Amino acid sequence: MGNNCVGSRNYTSNDGTRGSSVSSSYWWCRGHKKDAHKDGKKNTKAAETVQDKPPQVVKIESDEVKPPHQAKQTNPPSDQTRAQPEKPKKPRHGKKPASAGLKADSVLLRKTGNLKECYNMGKKLGQGQFGTTYLCVEKATGKEYACKSILKRKLLTEEDVEDVRREIQIMHHLAGSPNVISIKEAFEDAVSVHVVMELCAGGELFDRIVERGHYTERKAAKLARTIVGVIESCHSLGVMHRDLKPENFLFVNQQEESPLKAIDFGLSAFFKPGLSKCFIVSSPMCMFH
């Protein structure tokens, strides 16, 4: 029954007599106890290290990163510990230099009318370092003019402001010269200074030179005579242009015999006879080489 073995075993005593049979389970128990007695010291030490509690389960985290929708959040953060969204950083700009200001009369030093009340602005005609030239039409007469708009934020120093004032003053001073562009009027608002002047629709002398490839000696001499006449007229009125080049001479119209006029007096200056300051003027003859 159970794990007990059925049957008997005969044994012989020390005096030679044969004993009665004993159950095999008896011998198994005696042999087991005998072995246990021999190894008592060893098993005692082993018994001391036997743990009667199961080992703790160690969770090995996987190196794989779970996607956000599979991650479990046991303790949701409170309102105080919840991470705030990072605000976009503002781009760093360098220190802006001081300009002439945005007062309406800071350049011309006088109050003027509103440009858009008198003129309709049209397409862009040209671009310079400080200003942009646009086509404009006078509302009262429908006549076309050129309007040079100079941004006041580009006038970084008092010297730049003074150059704009002097340019307008010189153009008024040279009014009536046949080969100098004529000024009509000037306006100033909070953003720009606007100079309305004669429209020269024939294009630059530089473009004519490039288009023709070369000029005959007779034709080049005629244009050079006109340029020298402009210089003589300016000098006689105490003005030095100081920026003579083919780009600063415009034809009035597209005709071959169109009058030629000098423009852009932004670098011009007044002078008096005997002035020690040296002014460098480009030679007009080098334009036709």
E strand or H helix that includes residue 161: helix 158-173
Distance CA 204, CA 218 (A): 20
Under 8 Å between Cβ of 198 and 182: yes
Mutual angle of helices 24-38 and 40-48, in 10-degree steps: 80
3-class SS at 120?
Answer: strand
Question: Structural domain boundaries of the chain?
Answer: 115-197, 203-288
Active site residue 243: yes
Closest residue by Cα to residue 207 from 252, 179, 249: 249
Q: Could you tell me the CA-to-CA distances from 255 to 84, 177, 207 in Å, in that order?
A: 71, 21, 14
**Active-site choice (160, 189, 207, 243):** 243
- Paired with 149 in beta bridges are 132, 194
Give the pair of three-digit tokens for residue 123.
């397409």
- The amino acid present at 35, given as its one-letter code, is D
Q: Find the farthest-apart pair of alpha carbons in the chain and give their distance in angstroms, rounded.
A: 165
Topology of domain 115-197, CATH: Phosphorylase Kinase; domain 1 (3.30.200)
Class of domain 203-288: mainly alpha
Phi-psi map region of 238: left, alpha, beta (phi>0 left; psi -120 to 50 alpha): left
3-class SS at 109?
Answer: coil
The structure's pTM equals 0.61
**pLDDT tens for each residue of the chain, 289 residues long:** 444 444 444 544 445 555 544 444 444 444 444 444 444 444 444 445 555 666 676 666 555 555 555 545 555 555 555 556 666 665 555 454 455 555 667 899 999 999 999 999 999 999 888 889 999 999 999 999 999 999 999 999 999 999 999 999 999 999 999 999 999 999 999 999 999 999 999 999 999 999 998 899 999 999 999 999 999 999 999 999 999 999 999 999 999 999 999 999 999 999 987 765 444 444 444 444 4
